[in-house]
Amino acid sequence: MVATAQPEAFSRILIDRALQDSGWDMLNPKQVRLELNGATGRADYVLMGDRGPLCVLEAKREDEDPYDAKEQARGYAENLNAPFVILSNGREHWFWNYARKDQQDPYRIERLPSPLDLERVRLKNLQPPRPLTTETISTDYLKGFRHDLVLRQYQINAMDSVSKRHSVPALHPLIPSTPKHQKPKNLSC
């Protein structure tokens, strides 16, 4: 017997469940709007906030890579003035804070954000990022992650050097970024 691909409707069932699990009320149009028409097409889901659209969620079939809908979803988000995009096939979710110029690509997330999560990120967008050089790095810098980790002076010097170089505006074009047509790789440290 040959396995057949599930229709997009099956993915939407999974997405609906994930949204409910994250605190979204699927029956409340003040929180979630379905199939919202705009100038560039129809957004599958629009997650609403206190000040209007917060996020466009583009649904794809379970056997499709949701990342491939990035530009389609960007058009909907721009049209609706939503700062965030989620790409999902029900099993794999990608989040994109596309309103931030320093976040050019979506990244993989394990669960869908709650309404409060999105409001917090929206508020963070209103604040400029803190320069790396303001971060104080000491030997105990990593203790919050693991109590047995201690930085050595050469590691501190290396991090200071990177933060200083990153803070120089002329060097920003030299910092590698993922081309718009290329999917970022999942990196592990």
Q: What is the spatial distance between Cα 15 and Cα 93, in angstroms, rounded to a whole number? A: 9
Residues 121 and 155 both lie in one domain: no
Domain tally, the chain: 2
Strand partners, 107: 95
The residues near 117 (Cβ < 8 Å, ≥ 6 apart) are 22
Interval 8-17 mean pLDDT: 90
Does the global pTM surpass 0.85?
no
Domain CATH code at residue 52: 3.90.1570.30
Q: Is residue 181 part of a domain?
A: no
Residues 55 and 120 both lie in one domain: yes
Interval 149-163 mean pLDDT: 89
Q: Are 80 and 60 in contact (CB under 8 A)?
A: no
Q: Is residue 121 part of a domain?
A: yes
Between 18 and 6, residue with greater pLDDT = 18
Q: What's at 147, amino acid-wise? A: H
Report residue 110's pLDDT band, with 50, 70 and 90 as the boundaries.
Answer: very high
Residues 79 and 29 both lie in one domain: yes
Report residue 133's pLDDT band, with 50, 70 and 90 as the boundaries.
Answer: confident
b/e per residue 91-106 (b: at least 16 CB within 10 A): ebbbbbbbbeeeeebb
Interval 152-159 mean pLDDT: 90
Task: List the structure tokens of 80.
Answer: 């609706």
Q: Are 175 and 169 in contact (CB under 8 A)?
A: no
pLDDT at 38: 75
Domain hosting 161: range is 132-174
Out of 67, 101, 125, pick the residue that ends a domain: 125
Residues 58 and 75 both lie in one domain: yes
| pLDDT of 189 strictly over 60 | no
Helix (H, G, I), strand (E, B) or coil at 99: coil
Q: What is the spatial distance between Cα 44 and Cα 69, in angstroms, rounded to a whole number? A: 12
Residues 31 and 98 both lie in one domain: yes
Reported as type and span, the H/E element at residue 67 is none
Report residue 172's pLDDT band, with 50, 70 and 90 as the boundaries.
Answer: very low
CA distances from 87 to 46, 93, 134, 150 (A): 12, 6, 34, 39
Q: Are 60 and 71 in contact (CB under 8 A)?
A: no
Residues 41 and 57 both lie in one domain: yes
Residues 90 and 137 both lie in one domain: no
Residues 63 and 140 both lie in one domain: no
Q: Is residue 37 part of a domain?
A: yes
What mean pLDDT value characterizes the chain? Answer: 83
Q: Given CA atoms 189, 68, 20, 22 in this order, what sign does their dihedral have?
A: positive
